[in-house]
Structure 1
């Protein structure tokens, strides 16, 4: 259900609606009579209430498009705009289907670091569901896909609480977010 002015698991969508799709994506909001799938439209941007902290995790569930090119999930410090992205991107995960790579990088003070080495296997399949978990720890993020730990990404942004926005773009449909 979408409920105005509240939050679930610390994530709010830009239009201040609860982004809780733990039910059917086709559920109708009782207060607004609108289809919740509109709230999970890609590209997606939502607030992480209180920012990140050790012990907090973000879960993104979705379905890869039938003919995917790539998708990315970013944890950023501030929203930025489409013309001017935020200066700090604490973590950007990018799935590239052409070369079957799942890469990660960060941007600090407007400067992108190098993409970290690829992983031994590519966990995404076209037209199939997936579950990504991003666990925040004191020194790093731990990334899991479908229950398997794929890699760690050590923090490049010093203030975890400044990481307050999640952005999702590309060849996927979001089914649940928490």
Structure 2
């Protein structure tokens, strides 16, 4: 069997394309795998000081003709101000939030599966375009997703990267780590520590044997049975959900099981530490 045949299969729904930083407008790109329910597109940017008054028009081009447009006035964007726009694609409609607040929803007039291209035009400065998946552990709930912006050239994201957890972990808390795997990676680890810097649990991706595992404080390895989704020059999103005395894991929007720690241990954790062969774009906890 050749090395290529030994590689894990990569379902389309697992693939997240790398973000785009400071694109030159007009900008057009293919959306890897197309759009599907649960996918999100995030835009970060700045409104130029000389921009025209903002308003929003939604419409659909079908058979070469534009259909009846829908307008939304009073877009809460100011000249010279930063913005974060999040598009959440659901089964029947797309929801759009602006700076963390719901702004509109627009029902599809064509099958979502036919959409595979993103175009950005006009008088705006775009800093980042991200292609993400919704938190799989809240699917079907009324919770509206929050966009956590990419931090560019931030010293707080240099590795090893540490984030304090002043209150420990509690049920419902979500940790999100997004980044890009380097060209010649060796490993990638997320560790949770207490006040005495004792590590209670580690999530480790090993590129040598292409394994993903939980590592206990005593070095015991529990392999996670899932396709290995960390690849050189590929974007990744790790999500940890604290629930019922343990941690649920999702990678690129796909739930991959959980590990048990006990509620008391979760409350004692005070630090998230990240290291390895990656470049970080976002750490939220």
- TM-score norm. by structure 2 comes to 0.45
Deviation, 1:90, is 2.5
Matched residue, 2:231? 125
Is 1:25 the equivalent of 2:151?
Answer: yes
Matched residue, 2:200? 90
Deviation, 1:120, is 3.2
| Aligned CA distance change for structure 1 residues 98 and 48 (closer, same or farther; 3 Å) | same
Larger Rg: 2
| Aligned CA distance change for structure 1 residues 169 and 24 (closer, same or farther; 3 Å) | closer
Unpaired stretches in structure 2, ≥5 consecutive residues: 1-146
Deviation, 1:24, is 5.0
Deviations 1:42-74 (A, max 9, x none): 111110131101111100001111110101011
Q: Classify the secondary structure of the residue corresponding to 1:99.
A: coil
Alpha-carbon contact 2:245-2:262 (below 8 Å) kept: no
**Number of equivalenced pairs:** 138
Matched residue, 1:160? 266
Pick the aligned partner of 1:137 from 228, 243, 246. Answer: 243
Q: Classify the secondary structure of the residue corresponding to 2:154.
A: helix
Deviation, 1:117, is 2.3
Deviation, 1:22, is 4.1
Larger RCO (alpha carbons 8 Å, 6+ apart): 1
Deviation, 1:162, is 1.0
Alpha-carbon contact 2:246-2:266 (below 8 Å) kept: no
Distance in 2 of aligned mates of 1:164 and 1:151: 23
| Aligned CA distance change for structure 1 residues 24 and 149 (closer, same or farther; 3 Å) | closer
| Aligned CA distance change for structure 1 residues 147 and 161 (closer, same or farther; 3 Å) | same
Matches within 5 A, 1:95-114: 95-107=205-217, 112-114=218-220
Alpha-carbon contact 2:211-2:223 (below 8 Å) kept: no
